[in-house]
């Protein structure tokens, strides 16, 4: 049954069949594999290695196998090891002797390298359009929440007031970088290894430029050994996936915290939360927690591939078969995250009452006061100290900044005046942070416009 059984005088042990098969992870590659095989058939025909009639029969046979796979009538056999052998065996069952010509000048080594690239390319395009949805949902939320003033945090302590639109845009830019990383991963796979055969190329005159063209790659790979050994493009995918999932996880963590009663700034929609089986009052942010948790699997997938590659001799070793396990798992996880996250973001509301409560005591404006003093000629370090002492005094007296009268301010800071007093509110603080990329409403609007333009180009 095994297509390579010629030199063996014993059947493969059952445990070995079980252990070496890759069907549990490569069956999803079937369509890409058939696409690669069809290009190979055309290259064989162009070299005169098969007749026109054989070419047509092989192409038709491969189409039939594909439709059998798609309609579920084709049940692959584990004894046939992998997706490649199963397809070829079925083709030969359909075509007889003619089917046996398909693998001319080809090895499963260049075959899997080609199939993987075709498969991953399609996946990346799909993921790219889902990232576009995510970016769109962030832009929408940024636009909706542009005028909403909330505390911005450093060290998880209230730091300075910001526009909630600015917060959403901070994630927009991170995910936009991920999109560029995805594009780089697409570029990295854009060379066709088909025709590299086992590792050394072929004595059969295969036109590798034609295979590249038929399979819509920019060019053939330069070196047949490297073609077989190279999995850099998978590492590039995992790098993209890892950075993306880290960004998702950080966003999820923020939202989990901001949603707690202790912070209370964001309100998650009921339909995206779950309840507790014992505590009736609970509304848990499980979707966000799972996004945070699943990031671990994706990072592990990256490490898994790198460890397989490290120290692996060139060109092909069966270790490489395992590259698909983490790839498939990470792709599934990415799709899962990308299907739920944009919808969740679009439904998040801001609790303005809780937000203004968090801004109420006025300490969050301490930097603003120091900067006002700087504009009046006070050196920044002295201004910092004056305001710091005012904070100390307030804490001792049990007063908040917002409760201080003009006279009390004057006693604490002689340079304090009506002008400063009038601007001491969170909205004005945000409005005046107009440095390029700052949180001023006008700057956030500029970012949103820029984001929309980038989305238009994607």
Alpha-helix residue ranges (DSSP H) falling in 189-219: 208-214
Of 62-70, 253-261, 301-309, 313-321, the window that binds ligand ARG (rule: CB under 6 A) is 313-321
Cα 209 to Cα 347: distance, rounded to the nearest angstrom: 50
CA distances from 232 to 94, 185, 299, 436 (A): 37, 9, 16, 37
Which residue's entry shows tokens 């899962």? 336
Task: Report residue 139 CA to chain centroid gap.
Answer: 18
> Which lies closer to ligand ARG via its Cβ, residue 101 or residue 108?
108
Q: Which of 67, 129, 218, 276 is catalytic?
A: 276
Judged by CB under 6 A, does residue 155 bind ligand ARG?
no
155 is a catalytic site residue: yes
Q: CB 322 → ligand ARG: shortest distance, Å?
A: 8
Tell the smallest beta-carbon distance from residue 316 to ligand ARG (Å). 5
Find the shortest distance in angstroms from Cβ 269 to ligand ARG: 43
Q: What is the spatial distance between Cα 87 and Cα 66, in angstroms, rounded to a whole number?
A: 9
What is the smallest separation between the CB atom of 100 and ligand ARG, expressed in angstroms?
18
Q: Which is the catalytic residue, given 9, 155, 271, 277?
A: 155
Residue 82 binds ligand ARG (CB under 6 A):
yes
Specify the residue, 7 or 318, whose C-beta has the smaller distance to ligand ARG.
Answer: 318
108 binds ligand ARG (CB under 6 A): yes
Rounded Cα distance between 326 and 304, Å, is 7
Residues 112-151 interacting with ligand ARG (rule: CB under 6 A) = 112
Note whether 109 binds ligand ARG by CB under 6 A.
Answer: yes
Contacting range for ligand ARG; rule: CB under 6 A; set: 33-41, 107-115, 227-235, 436-444: 107-115
Stretch binding ligand ARG (CB under 6 A), from 202-210, 284-292, 316-324, 345-353: 316-324
8 A C-beta contact, residue 182 and residue 240 = yes
Decide: is 321 part of the binding site for ligand ARG (CB under 6 A): yes
Residue 105 token pair = 């000048």
> Judged by CB under 6 A, which stretch of 137-145, 264-272, 317-325, 333-341 contacts ligand ARG?
317-325
- The Cα-based distances of 378 to 363, 366, 370, 405, 406 in angstroms read 20, 15, 9, 22, 19
Nearer to ligand ARG, 320 or 334 (CB): 320
CA dist., res. 415 & res. 410, Å (int) = 7
Q: Which of 75, 155, 310, 318 binds ligand ARG (CB under 6 A)?
A: 318
Contact partners, residue 268, CB within 8 Å, separation at least 6: 255, 259, 283, 285, 288, 344, 347, 348
Give the Cα separation of 327 and 229 in Å (integer): 17
Is the CB of 33 or the CB of 136 nearer to ligand ARG?
33
Has 9 been annotated as catalytic? no
- At a CB cut-off of 8 Å and minimum separation 6, what does 152 contact? 158, 159, 160, 161, 162, 166, 167, 439
Residues 8-47 close enough to bind ligand ARG by CB under 6 A? 22, 26
Catalytic residue list: 155, 276
Contact set with ligand ARG (CB under 6 A)? 22, 26, 82, 108-109, 112, 316, 318, 320-321
């Amino acid at each position: 049954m095994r297509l390579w059984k010629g030199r063996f005088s014993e059947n493969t042990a059952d445990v070995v069949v079980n252990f070496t098969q890759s069907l549990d992870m490569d069956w999803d590659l079937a369509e890409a594999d058939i696409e690669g095989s069809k290009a190979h058939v055309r290259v064989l025909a162009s070299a005169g290695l098969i007749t026109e009639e054989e070419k047509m029969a092989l192409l038709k046979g491969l189409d039939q196998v594909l439709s059998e796979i798609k309609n579920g009538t084709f049940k692959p056999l584990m004894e046939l090891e992998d997706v490649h052998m199963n397809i070829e065996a079925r083709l030969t069952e359909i075509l007889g002797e003619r089917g046996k010509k398909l693998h001319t000048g080809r090895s499963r080594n260049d075959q899997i390298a080609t199939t993987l690239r075709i498969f991953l390319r399609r996946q990346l395009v799909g993921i790219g359009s889902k990232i576009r949805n995510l970016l769109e949902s962030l832009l929408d939320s940024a636009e909706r929440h542009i005028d909403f003033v909330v505390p911005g945090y450093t060290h998880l302590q209230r730091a300075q007031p910001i526009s909630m639109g600015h917060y959403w845009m901070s994630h927009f830019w991170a995910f936009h970088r991920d999109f560029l990383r995805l594009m780089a991963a697409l570029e990295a796979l854009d060379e066709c290894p088909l025709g590299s055969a086992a590792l050394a190329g072929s004595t059969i005159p295969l036109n590798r430029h034609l295979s590249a063209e038929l399979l819509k790659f920019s060019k053939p790979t330069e070196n047949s050994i490297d073609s077989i050994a190279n999995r850099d493009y998978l590492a590039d995918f995992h790098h993209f996936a890892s950075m993306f999932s880290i960004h998702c996880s950080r966003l999820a963590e923020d939202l989990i915290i901001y949603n707690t009663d202790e912070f209370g700034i964001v309100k998650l929609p009921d339909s995206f939360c779950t309840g507790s089986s014992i505590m009736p009052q609970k509304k848990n942010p499980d979707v966000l927690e799972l996004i945070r948790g699943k990031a671990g699997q994706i990072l592990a997938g990256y490490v898994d591939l790198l460890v397989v590659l490290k120290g692996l001799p060139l060109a092909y070793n069966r270790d490489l078969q395992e590259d698909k396990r983490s790839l498939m798992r990470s792709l599934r996880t990415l799709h899962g995250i990308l299907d739920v996250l944009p919808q969740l973001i679009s439904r998040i509301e801001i609790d303005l009452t809780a937000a203004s409560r968090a801004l109420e005591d006025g300490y969050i404006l301490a930097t603003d006061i120091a900067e006002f003093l700087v504009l009046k000629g006070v050196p920044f370090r002295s201004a910092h100290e004056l305001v710091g002492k005012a904070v100390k005094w307030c804490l001792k007296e049990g007063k908040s900044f917002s409760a201080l009268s003009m006279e009390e301010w004057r006693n604490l800071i002689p340079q304090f005046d009506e002008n400063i007093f009038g601007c001491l509110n969170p909205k004005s603080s945000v409005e005046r942070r107009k440095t390029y990329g700052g949180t001023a409403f006008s700057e956030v609007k500029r970012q949103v416009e820029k984001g929309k333009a980038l989305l238009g180009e994607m």
